[in-house]
Amino acid sequence: MSLAYKEIITGIVTLIGVTMLFSCQGNLNEIRELDIEGDAPQAIAEGINLKYTDSGRMVANLKSPKMMDFTNKEFPYREFPEGLELEIYDENNEKSTVTSDYGIIYDGTNLIDLQGNVVIFTADSMRLEASQLFWDQNINWIFTDKPNTIKFPNGALNEGEGFDANQNFGNFRSRTNVGVQIIKDDKPDE
């Protein structure tokens, strides 16, 4: 075989190898673009049990069967498609519990959207039930436009559609309500 044929064959083999390399690189880039542009979360966590502490004191405990992390998106959020349970501890280590069938936390606005069988049970035995509830963490404000039921520790009952309240329910505004209110009469009998 002459030197010219060897150079031609070597050139053809090199050309085929380079073509295959660029072809593979193109497919790899296409796969990467599909992954980046897809709706897939950047991470999925299962069996979550996150404990939040402040100066050694337990502040909150978040439990969920599954969390999907979409914080790599333009409008970042974390989704809890199988529900969540949040235990919040006050300064006296008294626990309030929040549960829901679904939850989503929007990182950019610090808004939490809880949906499906939302129940808040406070340390002082108040129980709130709603189909949806929003919590604005920036201003510590809870609100909903959906039907809700609140059972107070003294036996009072409030059924309404929509309310706004600070997170400890010290400032509560109901939009429409029907219920039984317990009023204590401190006036001495005459």
Per-residue pLDDT tens over the stretch 40-94: 888 898 998 988 888 888 888 889 999 999 988 889 999 999 999 988 888 888 8
- For the entire predicted model, the pTM comes to 0.70
Confidence band (pLDDT; 50, 70, 90) for 123? Answer: confident
- Max distance between CA atoms of the chain, in angstroms, equals 128
Confidence band (pLDDT; 50, 70, 90) for 122? Answer: confident
Q: Answer whether residue 34 shows pLDDT above 80.
A: no
Show the tokens assigned to 92: 């006296």
DSSP 3-state of 154: coil
Element of type H or E holding 36? helix 3-37
Which residue shows structure tokens 């004191």?
57
Closest CA to 112 of 130, 89, 137, 95: 137
Determine what percent of the chain falls in helix, strand and coil, rounding each to the nearest 5.
20, 50, 30
Q: Answer whether residue 140 shows pLDDT above 70.
A: yes
Segment 141-168 shows an average pLDDT of 86
Give me the percent of the chain exceeding a pLDDT of 70: 73
141 close to 133: Cβ distance less than 8 angstroms: no
Sign (positive or negative) of CA dihedral 83, 76, 147, 62:
positive
Give me the percent of the chain exceeding a pLDDT of 90: 24
Among 27-31, 54-58, 134-138, the minimum mean pLDDT is found in: 27-31
